[in-house]
Amino acid sequence: MKTDEETVHAAGASKHRHVAWPFRYDFNEENVTCPTCRRLYFEGLEGKRMDEKFRKYNRLLISYNDLNQAYGISDYLISNNLYDNYPRENSVLVQGLNSAAIVAYARPFSGNRGTSATNNLPKSILSVLSGDEREIHDAIITDRHTIVAHADADELGVSPVKFNTGVSEIVIPMNCKTSAIVLLKESMELLRSASEKLRENVFEQRMALEHDLKPHMKTVEVESSD
C-alpha cells in the first residue's frame, strides 16, 4: 500500500529513541487512517480488558511527549544559566519558559478529554520519584490549576486598594502577576529530574503494553521508493 505523505514525528530521549507515530498516512480505505483524524489503526480488540489496555497505551504515547517537552524546557533554562541575574535579565524568557514547563509537565495529570485514551496517567507512575520530587510534583499541579493555566482569584490575592495622596485618589490593583510567579532554580532542577524519571517510566510501561497490543495493530505495508 502506497502512502501519499510520510512525515516523521520524532521524540528523542537520552537513553531511548522513541517515535510515537513514525509516519502520517493518507489512505482512501475506510477504518485505516492516522490518529490525527481520531480514527484507529487497531482492529480486533475484543472485550473491555483489551480496550482499556489500548486506551492506557495511547495515554502513555501522549504523555511521553509531554514529559519530554517538560524535560527539554527545564533543561534549557538550567543549562543556559537563564536564572543568573534574574529578574534583572531574561525576565520575559524565564517567565515564559517557566509557564511552558509547568503546563507540559502537568498535562498527563490534568484530566484530559477524549475517548481514545485514558484521562490521566495512573498514580502508580509517580512511584519512581524521590520525596523532594513528589513534593515539587504536587506543587506544580497546584500551580498549573490555580495560577499558570488559570487565574484563581483567591490564590492570587486580588485586592484593589485606594491611595489618597491628598491631591487625588489612585486605585492600585494589589494582586500578584501570574507571569511573575516562577519556580526557584532548585525547584526547576527537581522538575527536570522528575520529568526525566517519569518519561523513562512511561516508555518502559509503553513497551510492556505494546507486547500485548502489537498483534492486534493494523499492519501497513509500505512500498519501497527504490
Q: Quick check: is 109 in a domain?
A: yes
Ordered per-residue pLDDT tens for the chain, 226 residues: 333 333 333 333 334 334 444 333 333 334 333 444 334 444 444 556 677 888 899 999 999 999 999 999 999 999 999 999 998 999 999 999 999 999 999 999 998 888 878 899 999 999 999 999 999 999 999 989 888 887 777 777 777 888 888 899 998 877 666 666 789 999 999 999 999 999 999 999 999 999 888 887 778 888 877 6
Q: Quick check: is 2 in a domain?
A: no
Q: Three-state DSSP class for 99?
A: helix
Q: What is the pLDDT of residue 38?
A: 38
Q: What is the pLDDT of residue 47?
A: 53
Q: Quick check: is 210 in a domain?
A: yes
Q: Of the candidates 120, 99, 4, which has an alpha carbon nearest to the alpha carbon of residue 56?
A: 120
Q: What is the pLDDT of residue 133?
A: 98
Q: What is the pLDDT of residue 224?
A: 77
Q: Quick check: is 158 in a domain?
A: no
Q: Quick check: is 3 in a domain?
A: no
Q: Quick check: is 4 in a domain?
A: no
Cβ atoms 67, 202 nearer than 8 A:
yes
Q: Three-state DSSP class for 20?
A: strand
Domain limits for position 109 = 9-151+179-216
Q: Quick check: is 49 in a domain?
A: yes
Cβ atoms 216, 44 nearer than 8 A:
yes
Q: How far is residue 61's CA from residue 55's CA, in Å, rounded to a whole number?
A: 10
Q: Quick check: is 162 in a domain?
A: no
In the chain, how many domains are there? 1
Q: What is the pLDDT of residue 65?
A: 96
> Which H or E run includes 11?
strand 9-12
Helical pair 91-106 and 185-213, crossing angle rounded to 10 deg? 30
Cβ atoms 11, 65 nearer than 8 A:
yes
